[in-house]
Amino acid sequence: MLYYMYGINYAIKFILLPFFVAYFTPFFVFLSYFVSKENPMIQFFRFDSSREFDVELDIIGGREAVKFFIRRTIYLFLFIYSTLFLAVAIPFFQTPCFYIYFLGSLASSFYLVRYINYIVKYIKYKGGYIKLNNLFIEIKDADKIIKIPADEITYLEINPIGNLLIREKYTVTSFPRGLLRAEQVEVIPQVLQDMGPKRTALLKKIWEFIDAIAVALVLAVHIIQYIVQAYYIPTPSMVETLKVKDHLFVEKITYGPIIPKMFGMKEPVHLKFLALRELRRSDIIIFTPPVESDKHKDYIKRCIALPGDEFHIKDGFVYINGKRQDEPYTLGKPSDYSSFHITQHNNIEGIVPEGKVIVMGDNRTNSSDSRYFGYLDIKSIKGKALLLYWNTDDFRRRDFSRLGLIR
């Protein structure tokens, strides 16, 4: 029965995923398509003069060349952006993540070399072509024509930066295969004889797997950062609204997306113009606490007072702008400072400063909230609690009454 319940848990967790993926489908398709086209594996070929073939392949030019370099420029930007973004936004790792920086820098540097190679080769081979038949290979660049007889060719190689290398006994001639027209790129491997077809097939499958994993990772982290994220409640600070072992979704749309602080940025950027509405009193929010030792954690509390509000705690009750607040979610537990040492740092009595809010747990007698760490910066808010979808203890008791929207 327990395995069945865990199955329901994971099924519910991914029920909304197709809906959220739809927001990022254009980005996903673009990235996946061009990653697969930029296959960096090495292939070796024999020049089989006994086979009959005769093809002429042209270097791109005009609008086609402009589109080619625009796409590669965007792709280079996506490489660099994805590295910087993943390093600070990837979950389950302490951020910024050095390993992401390292791997992303290697990938970005490799693609930058490939990009520069395309530019240099385009200048040299603009208006050129390569002609292959069973007697010779002829290459035309911007200045001259080179003809290489078949009997002088030892083997050919497609290298990781997109060039076709024609190796003779004492020299090597390079041709930019990556600058051929899209429909002609795969013609060269088709007319030549692959020296290791099994190796090529294996490397292709490995590359496609890495491609799929990388794109899926970028997509998933974007969904977590900008759309929705699953959370687990480990403490009783929000009892009875949220209990220990609760699993919930937190949505990142209502208050507008927050671009995380990436390398070179002074602070995160909150895109308020994309928000559906402003933060309100009684919203249950997820945020990064202003506690140095807990910067790697997320807290969940209820928003009690907004910027400009006059806040006081008196006789066990919360007063906002002189009015005592009706807070049924506290279940009558008093609001006070009895468990806290009040200093200038965490004194929240009076007018709430601009850009700050006051947050408190529903379990007022067991919650580390603004009474402990002071005002919360609005920029630290990550999202709004949306949906309670699982609690292990409740499922064991077959109690589904608490599941649903969180208020």
Using an 8 Å Cβ cutoff, are 309 and 320 in contact?
Answer: yes
User: Alpha-carbon distance 165 to 314, whole Å?
Assistant: 81
Q: Which SS3 state, helix, strand or coil, does residue 186 take?
A: coil
Among residues 290, 365, 294, the alpha carbon closest in space to that of 330 is found at 365
Among residues 318, 25, 282, 75, the alpha carbon closest in space to that of 178 is found at 75
Active site residue 339: no
Cis-peptide, bond into residue 234, ω within 30° of zero: no
Identify the active-site residue in 301, 333, 356, 382. 301
Active site residue 144: no
Token look-up 């580390």 returns 368
CA distances from 119 to 42, 68, 126, 141, 327 (A): 21, 11, 10, 14, 66
The number of C-alpha atoms within 13 Å of 345 and in the hemisphere containing its C-beta is 7
| Helix (H) / strand (E) containing 47 | none
Angle, nearest 10°, between helix axes 17-37 and 197-226? 140
Q: Which SS3 state, helix, strand or coil, does residue 21 take?
A: helix
CA 320 to chain centre: 40
Pairing label, strands 284-287, 299-305 = antiparallel
User: Alpha-carbon distance 214 to 216, whole Å?
Assistant: 5
C-beta atoms surrounding 87 within 10 Å: 23
Give all strands of the β-sheet with 136-140 in edge-to-edge order: 54-58, 129-133, 136-140, 145-149
Identify the active-site residue in 82, 108, 237, 367. 237
Assigned token pair, 368: 């580390």
User: Alpha-carbon distance 199 to 43, whole Å?
Assistant: 9
Q: Which residues carry out catalysis?
A: 237, 301
